[in-house]
């Protein structure tokens, strides 16, 4: 069973989906730690309620990204974390974590990469008028949503769909697709 840390910055719906999948046995992993760069974000409440250790930090209180990533790396090692799972963590991963976790940092993104990387992917897709968008799960590298793709799932955009409706469709897919994909990856069935 893989030991994971979930990194998140917001409400934590993907954290909750991952936790629920672990609890039900659909995801054979153990969440050792939630890392949050926005103290007080709702995801921290979800984690505490679930009995998951929470590490909150304020990046601006560190001299550099290397300094806070070194602190994070020490905490990850202390908790024997094998994989970092990003679930709405709104910060690029830097050299310290990339060097120490290589192909063991996974992210989920609400588009069919390489289309619509970065912030507001759903808004970008709706504004572009595309008929299909989706969800991409990928390994993290030094770029913005540029790492090798692990899996993708399409989501149709119907005529007249508003951005919030498309976002809801994407969340519904993410909450099943992410834990399923993580389980396959951890079990060597990618």
Interval 32-86: pLDDT, tens:
999 999 999 999 999 999 999 999 999 999 999 999 999 999 999 999 999 999 9
Asked whether residue 72 is marked as a ligand-binding residue, the answer is: no
pLDDT tops 70 at residue 6: yes
Three-state secondary structure call for residue 47: helix
Q: Which of 19, 109, 138, 175 is catalytic?
A: 109
Establish whether 12 is an annotated binding residue: yes
Could you give the percent of the chain with pLDDT greater than 70?
Answer: 99
Sequence ranges of the domains in the chain: 2-186
Helix crossing, 13-24 with 163-186: angle to 10°?
40
98: left (phi over 0), alpha (psi -120 to 50) or beta: alpha
Peptide bond into 114 cis (omega under 30): yes
pLDDT at 13 over 90: yes
Q: Which of 137, 175, 173 is nearest to 18 (CA)?
A: 175
Q: In what order do the strands lie in the sheet with 149-156?
A: 54-56, 29-36, 2-8, 83-86, 105-109, 132-139, 149-156
109: annotated active-site residue? yes
Measured between alpha carbons, how far is 128 from 19 in angstroms, rounded to an integer? 34
If you average pLDDT over residues 129-146, what whole number do you get? 96
Check the annotation: does 107 bind a ligand. yes
Question: 161 pLDDT exceeds 80?
Answer: yes
CATH fold group of domain 2-186: Rossmann fold (3.40.50)
Q: Is 100 annotated as a binding residue?
A: no
pLDDT band at 190 (very low <50, low <70, confident <90, very high): low
The model's pTM is 0.95
């Amino acid at each position: 069973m893989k030991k994971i840390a979930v990194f998140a910055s917001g409400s934590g719906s993907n954290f909750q989906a991952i936790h629920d999948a672990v609890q039900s046995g659909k995801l054979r992993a153990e969440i050792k730690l939630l890392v949050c760069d926005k103290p007080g974000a709702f995801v921290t409440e979800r984690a505490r309620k679930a009995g998951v250790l929470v590490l909150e930090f304020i990046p601006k209180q560190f001299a550099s990204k290397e300094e806070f990533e070194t602190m994070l790396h020490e905490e990850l090692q202390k908790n024997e974390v094998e994989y970092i799972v990003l679930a709405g963590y709104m910060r690029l991963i830097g050299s310290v974590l990339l060097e120490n976790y290589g192909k063991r940092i996974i992210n989920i993104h609400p588009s069919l990469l390489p289309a619509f990387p970065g912030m507001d992917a759903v808004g970008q897709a709706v504004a572009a008028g595309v008929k299909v968008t989706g969800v991409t799960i990928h390994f993290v590298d030094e770029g913005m949503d540029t790492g090798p793709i692990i899996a993708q799932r399409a989501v149709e955009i119907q005529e007249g769909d508003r951005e919030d409706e498309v976002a809801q469709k994407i969340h519904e897919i993410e909450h099943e697709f992410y834990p399923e994909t993580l389980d396959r990856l951890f079990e060597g069935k990618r």
